[in-house]
Structures are given as C-alpha cells and as structure tokens.
A and B are shown apart, each in its own frame.
Chain A
Amino acid sequence: MNTLVWRLHRGQACIAGAALIVLTAVLLITGIAMSGTYHDFVAGCAAARDCGDPSQVLGRDGLLTDWGLATMAIPLLFGLFWGAPLLATEFEDGTHGLAWTQGVTRGRWVSRTVAWALLAALVWGGALTALVSWWRGPANALAFPGVRFDPGIFDIQGIVPVAYSVFAVALGIAAGAAFRRVLPAMATTLAVFTGLRFLIAEYARPHYLTPASMLIPFGPDNGPPGSWVLPSVVTGPGGQRYGSFTFQDVPAACRSLWPTPSYPPCMTAHGYHDLITYQPAGRFWAFQGLEAGIFLVLAAALIAVTFRLVLARDA
C-alpha cells in the first residue's frame, strides 16, 4: 500500500517540497533583515531611553504584512490540491475498482491512503508554522502590526496552522469521497474551509475563555500590553454603565473641549471611565490549543465520514 501511495503522489510531494524550499528562502531572507532592524531599533531606544512608536519600525521593510497574510492561504491549498483529489481522482478515473480488486481490503486501502495524506499535512503544516513563528518573532515583540490575537497574526503562527492543514486535507478527502469528482470536491473544500475559518475566527474565538475586565481612564481602549481588547462600555460617576454613550451624556464642562486632547482627561476627572473586556496576552497558547482542538476534532469527524462513505458504498 505504501508503495502505491508513494508512486501515485510523489509528484505532488516533490512540488510541495520545492514550494516549501522557496518559502523558506523568502522567509529566511526577510526574517533575517527584520531581525537586524529589530535589534538595531531595540539597541537604539535603549540608548535613547525612549522607543517612540515601534509600529513604524518594521513597517519600513514593507514585506511584513504581505508575506504574513500570504501564508494564511497555505492550509487551504493543501486541502484543495492534496485532500480533494486524493480519492476523487480514483473515483473519476475508475482506478478505485482496480485498487479494490487487489489483495488488500478496502479498509486497508483507505486507511493507508488517508493516513499518508494527513501525515503530509501535519509535516508540511508543522514546517510552515515553525518558519512563520520564528519569522514573526521581532514583530510579536513589537506588537506590530497588531497583537498576537488579531486575525492574520493569530492564524499564521503557533500550532493552529497545523490543525488548519490537517482539517483542510480531511475536508478535501471527505468531499472527494462524497462527490467522487475532483472539481465539486475542490469547490466544497474552498467554500467550507474559508466559511468555517471566518465564522470561528469572528464569532467563536473571542469567547473561548471568559474575558477579563478592567476599568481604565476615559479615552482609547488600551488594554494591558499584548492583550486582545474586546468591546467596552463607558461607566459614569455613579458607576452606571452606558449601553450607548452619546454626546448628550457628556457633562457640560467637558463638551466644549471635544475633540481636543484635553477632552478625555476632563471626562476621567468627572468620573467617566471605560470598562473594557479583554483576553490577556498570557492566554495566547490556551487559545491556540482550543482552536487547534476544534479543527482537529472536526478533521477526525470528517475522516470518520470518509471511512463510512468508502466502506459502505458500492464501487
């Protein structure tokens, strides 16, 4: 079985290997440059005892956001080009009938084929995230272009890219087993993967753990460093909370100051604060673990569906 899987997919493995080498080269070149910039900056601000606005430092290299976002699509590519065609090609070409009449049972055929594809997703996903996590080191330290919980930053490092890769491949395989055609399997993979990733990032991720809350001076919603600030409410002098805070609610003494810089301190002086909710920076790995867990459980369910489809249906 292993020979069969290797013979059939060695071309794809070589292409993926080459792509990984190219990506490694790009990330190494830009990563080393960023690392240099970062160290110069940190040394500079230590000497001057003032770091100013760190967000502009790495942005000058102009490479950061683009390359970071680009790696977000890679798990989807695994799903589209490894997962979806894996079984669908066999059904489309009729070669499943050839494979299923050799001396190995269908169960062994599907388990070996699927296992190798998932292992490849695991290895490539792992290599990818190891590279990107290293590459983002200086950016993480400077919290640029945002905190580590932000979409596009959270999703390209840590352990979630591995889970996304495994899920995408499992999704492609299951779609291929269900439709038995490559194109519908790819289309389904594309739609379900992007849809689910968006829904989970947008609606589920902020609620993985009960957010912490904190009263801060009236003004911008700045949480503790590196934390993920969620929606906030304004609290008044009597401790009352404003669901929506309008200009009518502003005390007369401060109204004339708006929109000058003296306006927020005036509000704070009159007893108005912001009650922010936030996910502390220290929860990054817990969130990574929870999100990875969700996608791995979904992947396991899809593989179970695949086995059912292959074993129960006729050739």
Chain B
Amino acid sequence: MNTQDSPAIRTAGLGKRYGSLWALQDCSVSVPRGRVSALVGPNGAGKTTLLKILAGLSAPSAGEAAVLGRAPGQNTEFLDSVGYLAQDVPLYKRLSAGDHLEIGARLNRHWDAGAARARLAALKVPLGRPVATLSGGQRAQVGLSLALAKRPRLLLLDEPVAALDPLARREFLASLTAAVAEGDLSVILSSHLLHDLERVCDHLILLAASRTQLIGDIGDVLATHRMLVGPRRRIAEVEPGLTVIKSTQTARQTRLLVRLSGPVLDPSWAVTEVGLEDIVVAYMGLEASPADGQLTEIGAAQ
C-alpha cells in the first residue's frame, strides 16, 4: 500500500479479547489524514484498547489495523511515525523534564529538541526538577511535548486531560491545537469531556458496546442530526428518511433525536439543532447500531 496516500488509520474487523471478554470487537474505521479526531464512548467501550493497538503496544486478537499504511509493529519506521501519550501520563518520576527530553533525543531519529524546550519554557515548566514534583498539568505538558518532539505523523492521546483542572486542560488543548496547526499531523484524542473535544476536534469516532457506532467529521455529524418535537405518534409512523436514535414519549408529545438523510417533510415536527454532547449521549444509549451494520458513517458518501 502506498503509505503516502493511505489514511491516518484504517481498521477492519479489529478485535481484542482478554480471556473470554472482548474489550474491542469488530471495529472497522477509517480516518483521513489531517483530522483531529475525538474518540468517545462510555467506560469499557474499548477506547484505550483501540489506541494501544494503534500504538503497537497491544496485538489484536482479530482483524487488522493499519496506521499511515503500515501495520503497527516493532519496526523503527512505524515507531517513528506514531506518538502516544498513555492515560495518567506515565513518566520516569525521579527524572526531570530535561532528562526526559535528553533521553527522547537519543531514542528518536527526528527529534525536535528546540520546539519541545521552547514550549515547556513558555509554559514555565521547570526542566531541572524531578517530574514527580510537578503538577498534573505540568506533567501532561511534559508528556505532550515528548510525544510531539518525535515529530510523529499520528498522535494518539488517551484521556490526557481527564485528571487536569480546567485551566490546565485549556492550556493542554491550546498546545495541542497549536501543534496541529504547525504541520502535517493527525490526532486521535480520547476523552469523556465532550465540551473540550468540541473545541479542538473536527472528527468523531464513537465507540459503544465495544463497537464503532458513529464516525465522521463533526460538522457533518451536527448537520445530519436534529431534534424533532411534535404531537404523540408511534415511532413506526415516522417518515422513512429519518433514523430514530432516541425517542421520548409523553402523554401528548413525541421527542425524537433523528439522523437525517434528507429534509424533514412532515410539517407537524418542530425541528431544532442538537449539540454534539446530546448526539453522543443518544448513541451511547443504543443497545445496538441503529442501521444494519456496526458503523454509521457520516459524510462518507458525499
């Protein structure tokens, strides 16, 4: 496969089993290059598992994955192309940020020492103190700087901001946005904090029940989902162009969150836009995928 034109990630039927339990099952996704992709889903949906497989840390039990056209594995071309920041940002606690940067420079071929130092200096992160003495926000910045200094083509971030206070979170995401603006970088960022994701991401991967439920550019996702409110009626009577994701019935009213494949024709509906958080929560509540397949791909057909 031509690694230049291949998508940032592409998985087919990807699964990971721990004992008899599937942590990730039948995951088939494709994310174009240059996207900042939000990976969302409830706890246990397989987000961490997916990121570990993509980072080459975990071998899939089923299916296959390609990152920038290459199977994740123990070769330097792959390792050079991917940056990874694990949950809780593990660092060598007795070493300083400066030590980490020096080690990174020895272990990587395309190391950008200047940018990493400049970024940490601008954030006033002390380079000489053991990282164990730094704040959570500072450690996250050190971790991000290390991952970015590799000059990866794909950056995988596993809930990097979960433990941070709002200010540190905002600074972290600002650093990330600035880095994305600088170069040819694709990012997959998992988080529960949809509000933050909406600010920095332009693409969405929604995993639930260990399967992909929804994938697409966030703009398209927002454009194709609407809240409909109207007089009470049976769900089966809803016009065929609408796929009901979530419904709430009261004695007199029916509220539907629907995915559109065309305009809403029935004038008795009051149509309003829905925020990303409501859409995501509605999909998370689904027992199985709304459509026949496991995947609802938004914007792919256009």
Contact = CB atoms under 8 A, between A and B. Distances in A.
Say what secondary structure dominates the interface of chain B. Answer: loop
A311 to B, nearest CB: 8
Nearest to B73: A105
Contacts of B102: 3, 7
B57 A101 contact: yes
A60 B102 CA distance: 56
Interface in B76-133: 76, 79-80, 82-84, 86, 88, 90-95, 99, 102-104, 106-110
B10 interface: no
A94 interface: yes
Given A1-B107, A98-B91, A105 B58 contact: no
A102 B91 CA distance: 13
A12 to B, nearest CB: 11
B148 interface: no
A112 to B, nearest CB: 11
A104 interface: yes
Given A1-B106, A107-B74, A101 B83 contact: yes
Contacts of B203: none
Contacts of A311: 74
Contacts of A107: 74
Given A102-B104, A314-B59, A95 B91 contact: yes
Contacts of B146: 98
B161 to A, nearest CB: 17
Given A4-B103, A315-B58, A105 B74 contact: yes
A314 B91 contact: no
What is the interface residue range for chain B against chain A? 20 to 34
Say what secondary structure dominates the interface of chain A. Answer: helix
B52 A314 contact: yes
Contact of B108 (A7, A94, A103): A103
20 contacts: A1-B106, A3-B102, A3-B103, A4-B103, A4-B106, A7-B95, A94-B88, A95-B91, A95-B92, A97-B55, A100-B57, A101-B55, A101-B83, A102-B107, A102-B108, A103-B110, A105-B75, A105-B79, A106-B74, A315-B58
A105 B75 CA distance: 6
A104 B109 CA distance: 9
A93 B87 CA distance: 11
Given A98-B91, A103-B108, A315 B103 contact: no
A163 B147 CA distance: 41
A104 B79 contact: yes
A311 B91 CA distance: 21
B95 A103 contact: no
B47 interface: no
Contacts of B83: 101
